[in-house]
Amino acid sequence: MAFLGALGRRLAMLFRGTRFDRDLDQEMRLHLDLKARRHAAGGIAADDANHAARRAFGSPLRIREESRDAWGWRWLDDVAQDLRFGLRGLRKNPTFTAAAVITLALGIGANTAIFSVVNAVLLKPAPFEDLDRLVMVWETDRNSGTTREPASVPDFFDFRVRAGSVESLSALTATQMNLTPVDGEPVRLAALRVTPSLLSLFGIEPLAGRRFEPQEDSVGAADIAIVSNSLARRTAGSAAAALGRAIRLDDRAHTIVGVVPDSTDFGTLQLLSAAAYSRSFADRGETTRVDVWIPLRGDPKAQPRENHGIFMIGRLAPGQTASSTERELAAIAATLEQEYPANRGRGVHVEPLEDVVLGRVRPTLYMLLGAVALVLLVACVNVASLLLARGAARAQEIGVRRALGASNARVLRQFAAEALVLTLAAAACGVGLALAGLRLLVAMAPANVPRLATAAIDPRVLAVSLAASLAAAALFGVVPALQARSVDLQSTLKNDGATRGAVGPGPSRLRAALVVGELALAIMLLTGAGLLIRSFWNLLNVDPGFRTGGVLKAEYQLPRSRYPVDFSQWPDFPEQHAFTAAILASAEALPGVDAAAVAGNHPLDPGFPTSFRIVGREEEARAAGWPEISVRRVTPGYFATVGVQLVRGRLLTAGDSTRAAPAALINDATARRFFSERDPLGAQIRLFGTGATIVGVVADEKSHGLSETAPIAVYLPLAQAPSADGAGVLLVRTSGDPVGAATAVRAIIRARDAAIAVFGVETLDRTVSRSVAERRFATLLVGLFAALALALGAIGVHGVLSHDVARRSREIGIRMAFGAERRAVLRLVVGQALVMTALGVAIGAAGSLALTRVLATLLFGVTPHDPATFAAAAGLLTIVALAATAVPAWRAATVDPATALRM
C-alpha cells in the first residue's frame, strides 16, 4: 500500500515537468535572498553579502540535479537523453539511416506478410469443429492406378450402412447451374449437391432458415435450395427476405429454405481439385464461391454402379484413425467387388480432410517462409554491417566521452538507444510494407490457396521480426563501443590521421565476415530462385499438343428442360444437334475466324474417363486390368481449330453423322500402349455399351495439365456421341482481336438461345496460363526475395570495401609513392572482393545442398542439385559483387599520394 503511495507521488512529480525546476529555483532564490539579508544585517555590504551567500550556496545546477535524482527517475532522464542524442545522430547521417531503416523495414515487412499468409492458411485452427476428425473417403481404381476417385451412389449407400468406423458419412457432388434471374442475363453458379448430413458434419449454421431434412433428400420431393448470403442479398435484398422465395435454377423453380454465410468454405475447391475427375467448377482455376446447395437425391436403385460421380466425407468414430478406418472400408469394398462385377478393381483410400485441403499448398508455403526468413537474416546482417561501420567511425567520439567521465555502461547504453530508435523506425515502415505486401499477395495468389481471404497481419510475427531486428541492431550497435574500450585515449584525441577512427582491424574483419555470410545467404536464395525459374520455364515450353494462341473458347450448358436427353433415342438428340450446327455455322461465318468447332470439353478440361474394351481382346483387358480412357466428343473441325495433327488414317468428317457408322479416333498414347504391335485402324472399340470403328490416330493433347503426361483418349464425333449433361464448348481460331471475337461468340450463342449462360470465355492462352498460376506465384516471390538478397549483398560488399579503402588511404598513398602502379592497387581492392565472394559462394554452396532438397516437390524437369543453376547463381553473384567493387576500387586507384601522405 505504501508502495503504491510512493509510486503515485513519483508519477505526479514526473508530470510536473519544468514546473519542478522553476519551483525549486524559486525556493532557492528566496533562501539566497534571506541569507544575503542576514549577512548584510551582520555588517557586510549588500553586494558582498549576495556574493558570499551565493558562494556558500553552491552550484544551483548541481543542486537541481541532485534534487531531481531524489525522485528516482534519473534513469528515465538518461534514457530520454540517449534517445534524443541517438535521433540526432541518425538525422545527421541520412544515407546510413535510410539504408539501415529501409533494409530492416524490408526484412520485417516481407516476413510479416508471408508469415501472416502461412498462419491464415496453414496454422490457424479451422473455423469448423472437429475438422481434424473429418476424412475424405475416396475410391481407388487399381487398373488406372488412381487413388482419389469419386464413388458411385449405390456404393455410398452400402458404405453408409455397413461402415462402423466412420460416422455421419455424407456425400457431395459439384456442379454448375444456370441461374435465370428475374431481370438480367443468366448466370452460371457453382453448386453442390449434398446429402442432408453434410451441413451439420461441418457445423455450418444457417444465417437464416434451416438445413435440409432427411426426408427432403428423397427422389420426387419438392425442389428446394440453400443459398449463400451474397446470392440471397442479390435476389431479395437480405438473408431473411430470401426465405421462401423461389429462384430458377436450370429452368426449374427452387424454393429457398436456408441462407448460409459466404465464408462457408471447408476447402471445397481444394477437395475437388485433388480428385481424379468430376472436378466441375474447380477446374476453372478461379476462386469460386459455392452459391447454391441442393439435396443430392441419390437413388441407389436408379443410379448404376459404373457411374462414379459423388465424393464421400465422414467423421472418424471415436478411437478410430484414418488407417484403421481405411482397413475396415477396404474390407467392405472387397465384398462389394465380389457382389458386383461393376466394382472390379475398386478399392478405398481414406485421407484426413486437412491433408487434402492443405496438402498441395503446404510445401509451397513452407518454402516461402524459409526463403523470407533468409531475407530477414540478410537484412539483419546488412544492418549489423552498417552499424559496425558507423561505430568504427565514432571511435573519436567515444574517446571524448570516456575522457569526460562516461562509464562504459553509459557509452554502451547510448549506442543501444540509437539501435533502438533505428529498429523502431524500421518497424513502423515495416508494418506499412507488411500491410501493402499482404494485400498484394492476396490479390496475386493463385485460386488454390484456401482461407487466403482471412489472412491478416499477425502481431506475433511482427513481434518476432522486431525482436530479431532489435537483437541484431543492439548487438552490432554495441560492438564498436565494446571494442573502443581498448582504444588508447590519448592517440585518439590527438586527431592523428594515422590512427583517427582506427579501432584496429577487429571491426573490419567482423564486417567482412558478416558480408561473407550475406553473400552465402544470397547464393542460397539465388539458387532456389534459379531452380524454380528453370522449372517454370520448362513447364511453359512443354508442347501441350494443341494450339493456344489465337484460339478462343466459350462454354455453355444446355438445360434438359429445352434440350431433352432421352437415352432411348441416343445418339439422336435433335435439339442438341440443331443447336451445335447453328452456332457452328454462325461462328464459321464470322470475319477473321479461320476455323471453328464444338466439343464436349476444351483441351485443358480432362472430362470424364470411362472403361472400354477392344472387341476381340476382352480377355486381355480383364487379365491386364486396362485403365479407363478419356472421352473427347468433338465436331470434325476440332482438329483444325485446335491444331491436333493426324498421325495415321483419317480425321473425322461431316460424313460421320448421327446415322452413319460409328467412327472413333484414338490418340498416340493409346496407340502406343494398346496397339504397339497391331494396326489400330479397323479395330472396334466399345464404350458406353456401343461400339465404334477406329479410323485414325491423332497426336496427344495434354488435357491433364502441362506437367502431366497425356492421358489415353478416344475422340468420338459429337453427332454420334452427344453430351449426356448438355455441356459444350465452342472453339474458334481467329486471326483477329480476341476481345472482339469474344463478344461476337457470346452474341452467337445468345442469339440462338437467350436463356443460356455463357461462361469461361477466354483464349486458351489464358487457360494454360492460369493452370500454372501456382508455380508462377511461388517463382515470382522467391525471385523477388533473391533479387532483394542480391541487392543487399551488393550494398554490403560496397560498404565494407569503401570503408576499408578510406581507412587505408594513407597506406595506399605510401605504396603509390613507392612506385606501386594503379593496377596493383586495383588488384588489392578487387582481390579483397573476390576473396569475400569466393568464401560466400563456398559457404552458400554447402547451404544450398542442404536446403534445395526442400524444393524437390515444386521442381519440374530439373533436379534440386542441378550444377548448372548453381553455377549461374554463383556467376551472377560474382558479377554483382564485382560491380559493387567498382566505385571503391576506382577511389583507391585515384588516391593522390601527396594528399594521402599529408593527412
Partner 1 sequence: MRKADIPPGTLELLILRTLARGREMHGYEIAESIEELSERVLLVEEGSLYPALQRLLAKGWVKAEWGATDENRRARYYQLTKTGRKQLEAEVSRFDRVFTALARVIKST
Residues forming the site for partner 1 (CB under 8 A): 2, 5-6, 9-10, 13, 23-24, 26-28, 30-31, 33-35, 56-59, 62-63, 66-72
Nearer to partner 1, 23 or 737 (CB): 23
Instruction: Name 769's Cβ contacts closer than 8 Å, sequence gap at least 6.
Output: 776
Report in angstroms how near the CB of residue 413 gets to partner 1 at its nearest: 24
Supply the minimum distance, in Å, between the C-beta of residue 33 and partner 1. Answer: 8
How far apart (Å, rounded) are the C-alpha atoms in residues 344 and 291? 36
CB-wise, 33 or 213, nearer to partner 1? Answer: 33
Q: How far is the CB of 76 from partner 1 (least distance, A)?
A: 14
Cα–Cα distance between 256 and 215 in angstroms, integer?
16
Shortest Å, Cβ 77 to partner 1: 14
Residue in 270, 273, 268 with CA at minimum distance from that of residue 293: 268
- Kindly tell me which of 54 and 297 has the beta carbon lying closer to partner 1: 54
Tell me how far, at minimum, the Cβ of 410 lies from partner 1, in Å: 22
For residue 429, what are the contacts with CB-CB under 8 A and spacing of at least 6? 101, 102, 105, 109
In the complex, least distance from residue 43 CB atom to partner 1, rounded to whole angstroms: 16
Residue with Cβ nearer partner 1 (71 or 85): 71
Dist. CA 399–CA 333, nearest whole Å: 84
Alpha carbon distance 729, 722 (integer Å): 12
- Would you say 4 or 409 has its CB closer to partner 1? 4
Q: Residue 507 CB, nearest distance to partner 1 (Å)?
A: 42
Toward partner 1, which CB reaches closer, 63 or 791?
63
Pick 67 or 538: Cβ nearer partner 1 = 67
Phi, psi for 633 (deg, rounded to 5): -100, 125
Quick one: 30 or 824, whose CB is closer to partner 1?
30
C-alpha cell at 289: 464461391
Task: Give the angle subtended at the CA of 772 by the CAs of 770 and 775, to the nearest 5°.
Answer: 130
- Nearer Cβ to partner 1, position 6 or 739? 6
Instruction: Kindly tell me which of 34 and 444 has the beta carbon lying closer to partner 1.
Output: 34
Minimum separation from the CB atom of position 50 to partner 1 (A): 14
State the nearest-atom distance from the C-beta of 30 to partner 1, in Å. Answer: 5
Give the contacts of 80 (CB within 8 A, at least 6 positions apart).
none
Q: How far is the CB of 58 from partner 1 (least distance, A)?
A: 4
Shorter beta-carbon distance to partner 1: residue 4 or 623: 4
Partners of residue 759 on adjacent β-strands: 555
Q: Is the CB of residue 901 less than 8 Å from the CB of residue 810? A: yes
* Contact of 134 with 417, CB cutoff 8 Å: no
CA nearest 882: which of 846, 814, 808, 831? 831
**Are 599 and 728 in contact, with CB atoms under 8 Å apart?**
yes
Rounded Cα–Cα distance for residues 12 and 20 (Å)? 11
Q: Which runs of consecutive H residues, i.e. helices, occur in 687-772?
A: 738-752, 764-771
Q: How far is the CB of 32 from partner 1 (least distance, A)?
A: 8
Distance CA 173, CA 171 (A): 7
Alpha carbon separation from 903 to 496, 648, 811, 897 (Å, rounded): 9, 87, 11, 10
Minimum CB distance to partner 1 smaller for 72 or for 164? 72
Residues 523 and 848: beta-carbon distance below 8 Å: yes
Strand, helix or coil for residue 249: strand
568, 772 in Cβ contact below 8 A?
no
Cell of 421: 530508435
Place of cell 481460331: 733
Q: How far is the CB of 124 from partner 1 (least distance, A)?
A: 50
Residue 493's φ and ψ, nearest 5 degrees, are -70, -20
Q: How far is the CB of 45 from partner 1 (least distance, A)?
A: 21
227 alpha carbon, distance to own chain's centre: 30
Nearer to partner 1, 59 or 335 (CB): 59
CB of 71 to partner 1, least distance (A): 5
Q: In this structure, what DSSP letter does residue 702 have? A: -
Minimal distance, residue 8 CB to partner 1, in Å: 9
Round the CA-based radius of gyration of the chain to a whole number and report it: 38
Euclidean distance between CA atoms 223 and 86, whole angstroms: 73
- Residues 805 and 829 sit within 8 Å (Cβ to Cβ): yes
- Report in angstroms how near the CB of residue 59 gets to partner 1 at its nearest: 7
For residues 68 and 234, which CB has a smaller minimum distance to partner 1 in the complex? 68
Measured from the CB atom, the residue of 62 and 91 that comes closer to partner 1 is 62
CA 223 – CA 246 distance, rounded (Å): 9
* Cα separation, 60 vs 31, whole angstroms: 12
Complex with partner 1: residue 3 or 818, whichever CB lies closer: 3
C-beta of 56 vs 403, nearer to partner 1 = 56
Q: Cβ closer to partner 1: 62 or 301?
A: 62
> Cα angle vertex 90, ends 89, 96, to 5°?
125
Maximum distance among all Cα pairs of the chain, rounded to whole angstroms: 142
Task: State the cell numbers at 478.
Answer: 554495441
Minimum CB separation of residue 15 from partner 1 in Å reads 15
Least distance from partner 1 to the Cβ atom of residue 515, Å = 51
Residue 398 · residue 485 · CB < 8 Å: no
CA angle 164/166/167 to nearest 5° reads: 95
Distance CA 834, CA 797 (A): 10
Beta bridge partners of 634: 599, 717
